[in-house]
Amino acid sequence: MQLPGVTPRTFLRITQVTVVLVVLNIVTGAAVRLTDSGLGCPDWPTCSRHRLTPPLSFHPTVEFANRMVVVVLCVWTAVTLLAALRRVPARRGLVWLSAGLLGGVLGEAVLGAVVVYTKLNPYAVMTHFMVGIALLTDAVVLALRAGQEAGAGARVSKVGRRERRISQVMLGLLVLVVAAGTATTGAGPHAGGAGAKRLPVPLADMARVHSSIVICLVGLTVVLLYLLDRSGAPPSVLERARVLLASMVVQGAIGYVQYFSHLPALLVGVHVLGATVVWTAMLWFYDGLTHRAVLRSPADGVAGGVVGQAPGGTGSAVGRESGVGAIVGVTADATADATAAVPVPGGPDGAATPVPR
């Protein structure tokens, strides 16, 4: 029996649900640790040696609930991969991202078993969380790509080289922020279960390192927003930068409040949720710095290498693919930015040059 094809809109909705489930997996995993339920189910994949489901008590139920979220996520990522294979028109990049997501979720489930059998070893728990962030990255990028039209050309930058380099530094700093925050939790009081080991680092020292990197990241984001505004960056880029900055400020405020209120479990859980929000906002912002060039063939009545108008505005850019000049159109939300696009230095006559993906 031939399976029906999947429309781009349906596939986009599937990927959006995937993002929600990945976030839910991270948050429920944090709830297991924050409620000291990490060993509520001492066995894996069953809850205990002789029974699959947990007894009717708090800690086993919390731990088993997180495992059920992982099961749902495994099934849903398999559905996502199947939908990517049946999507019309087909896009190989979406298939690879979907396959990577399914493989990552299965690996995360096995890593959960390692956490249980090592009695909540802090390094295993930290790795478990960071893999969850990697899965979130895959899921968000998949959803972003699913929401964009496919283009035959390279990705073209909307901003200057300087702003793009600063954005890359910001992304690297955020990786350090998340890693340092995970280590801070590993040194804190929420071990996930009685008797679990903690990192041999004073909590105050790890918190100081974590907050210092956060301050650097927020400061650099403010500088970037100023440069984007001064250079006439497109409205969509400025909007995403402001959302990113706002999410960082709120998350930083929650972090300071939780630390000085002696790390109440509920507030720490909100901070974990905030980390997924900031990470998603960063990926959304970074993705919006470029757009996919559309290469038009001579059959469209346009001579290769001639600069033409972008749809909906007067802005234009010359693109190159395999050494052949072609007209570059603007797709998706870049249409509204056509008149405000900033060319990347280094192109011929100041024209924008394709940026490798």
Give me the tens of pLDDT residue by residue for the chain, a chain 357 residues long: 566 789 999 999 999 999 999 999 999 999 998 998 888 888 888 888 778 888 888 888 998 999 999 999 999 999 999 999 999 999 999 999 999 999 999 999 899 889 988 988 999 999 999 999 999 999 999 999 998 877 656 778 899 999 999 999 999 999 999 999 999 998 988 878 777 888 999 999 999 999 999 999 999 999 999 999 999 999 999 999 999 999 999 999 999 999 999 999 999 999 999 999 999 999 999 999 988 765 554 444 443 333 333 333 333 333 333 322 222 233 344 444 444 443 334 443 334 434 443
Which residues does 14 contact at the CB level (< 8 Å), separation at least 6?
A: 6, 79, 80, 83
What the block records as the tokens of 131 is 């893999």
Could you give the angle at the alpha carbon of 118 between the alpha carbons of 71 and 29, nearest 5°? Answer: 35
3-state DSSP assignment of residue 89: coil
Task: Tell me which residue of 102, 110, 140, 103 sits closest to 127, measured CA to CA.
Answer: 110
What the block records as the tokens of 26 is 């991270």
Model pLDDT, residue 228: 96
The domain spans of the chain are: 1-147, 292-355
Model pLDDT, residue 338: 42
* Alpha-helical regions (H) of the chain: 8-34, 58-86, 92-117, 122-146, 161-187, 203-230, 235-260, 265-287
Model pLDDT, residue 354: 42
